[in-house]
A and B are shown apart, each in its own frame.
Chain A
Amino acid sequence: MPRRPRRHQRLKSWPITFSPFGRALARMGSVSKPKRHSESIENHTPSSASNGFVKHPLDEKPEGSESSDGEFDGVVQADFAFFDPKPNDFHGVKTLLQTYLDVEEWDLSGFVDLILEQTTVGTVVKVEDDEDEGIFALATALNLSRYREQKCIIQLKDLFLAKASQEKGVADQLRLLLGEQAHNVGLLVSQRVVNLPPQLLPPLYDSLFNEVSWATEDEPTEELRNSFRFKHYVMLSKIYKHKNPEQKRKRSDDSEEAIVYVKPEDEIFHTLSSWSFCFPLRTQQPAPHEMKNYRSMGLIMAVEADKIPTFRQELGSLINES
Chain B
Amino acid sequence: MATRLQFENSCEIGAFSKLTNAYCLTAIGGSENFYSAFEAELADVIPVVKTSIGGTRLVGFLSVGNKNGLLLPHTTTDQELQHLRNSLPDQVVVQRIEEKLSALGNCIACNDHVALAHTDLDKETEELLADVLGVEVFRQTVAGNVLSGSYCALSNRGGLVHPHTSIEDLDELSTLLQVPLVAGTVNRGSEAIAAGMVVNDWTAFCGSDTTATELSVIDNVFMLRGDTRPGDGFDGMRKSLLDSYK
Interface residues of A, Cβ cutoff 8 Å to B: 90-91, 98, 103-106, 108-109, 282
Residues of A within 8 A of B190 (CB): 91
Complex CA distance for A90 and B33, rounded to whole angstroms: 25
Are A105's CB and B33's CB within 8 A? yes
Residues of B within 8 A of A109 (CB): 11, 188, 208-209
Stretch in contact with the other chain, from B2-10, B14-22, B150-158: B2-10
Are B9's CB and A106's CB within 8 A? yes
B29-46 CB contacts (< 8 Å) to partner A: 30-31, 33
Complex CA distance for A98 and B6, rounded to whole angstroms: 12
- SS class of chain A's interface: helix, strand, loop or mixed? loop
Residues of B within 8 A of A98 (CB): 9-10
Residues of A within 8 A of B144 (CB): none
Residues of A within 8 A of B6 (CB): 105
Residues of B within 8 A of A103 (CB): 8-9, 30
Are B209's CB and A105's CB within 8 A? no
Knowing that A105-B8, A108-B9, A109-B208 touch, tell me 6 more A-B residue pairs with CB under 8 angstroms: A91-B188, A98-B10, A105-B6, A109-B11, A109-B188, A282-B30
Number of cross-chain contacts by CB at 8 Å: 23
Give, as a whole number of angstroms, the nearest-CB distance from B179 to chain A. Answer: 29
Residues of A within 8 A of B209 (CB): 109
Who on chain A is nearest to B34 by CB? A105
Interface residues of B, Cβ cutoff 8 Å to A: 6, 8-11, 30-31, 33, 188-190, 208-209
Listed A/B pairs (6) with beta-carbon separation below 8 Å: A91-B188, A105-B6, A105-B8, A105-B9, A106-B9, A282-B30
Give, as a whole number of angstroms, the nearest-CB distance from B130 to chain A. Answer: 37
Q: Which of A103, A104, A109 has the most CB of B within 10 A?
A: A109
Who on chain A is nearest to B7 by CB? A105
Complex CA distance for A108 and B187, rounded to whole angstroms: 13
Residues of B within 8 A of A108 (CB): 9
Complex CA distance for A91 and B192, rounded to whole angstroms: 13
Residue of B9, B31, B189 near A91 (CB, 8 A) is B189
Complex CA distance for A34 and B16, rounded to whole angstroms: 47
Residues of A within 8 A of B188 (CB): 90-91, 109
Complex CA distance for A106 and B31, rounded to whole angstroms: 12
Who on chain A is nearest to B208 by CB? A109
Q: Which of B30, B33, B189 has the most CB of A within 10 A?
A: B30
Give, as a whole number of angstroms, the nearest-CB distance from B58 to chain A. Answer: 16
Give, as a whole number of angstroms, the nearest-CB distance from A283 to chain B. Answer: 9
Give, as a whole number of angstroms, the nearest-CB distance from A24 to chain B. Answer: 37
Give, as a whole number of angstroms, the nearest-CB distance from B190 to chain A. Answer: 7
Give, as a whole number of angstroms, the nearest-CB distance from A193 to chain B. Answer: 18
Who on chain A is nearest to B8 by CB? A103
Who on chain B is nearest to A98 by CB? B9
Complex CA distance for A105 and B209, rounded to whole angstroms: 14
The 9 closest A-B pairs by CB, nearest first: A103-B30, A108-B9, A109-B209, A103-B8, A105-B9, A105-B31, A98-B9, A90-B188, A105-B8
Who on chain B is nearest to A99 by CB? B9
Complex CA distance for A282 and B6, rounded to whole angstroms: 19
Residues of B within 8 A of A91 (CB): 188-190
Residues of A within 8 A of B189 (CB): 90-91
Q: Which of A104, A106, A282 has the most CB of B within 10 A?
A: A104
Complex CA distance for A109 and B190, rounded to whole angstroms: 14
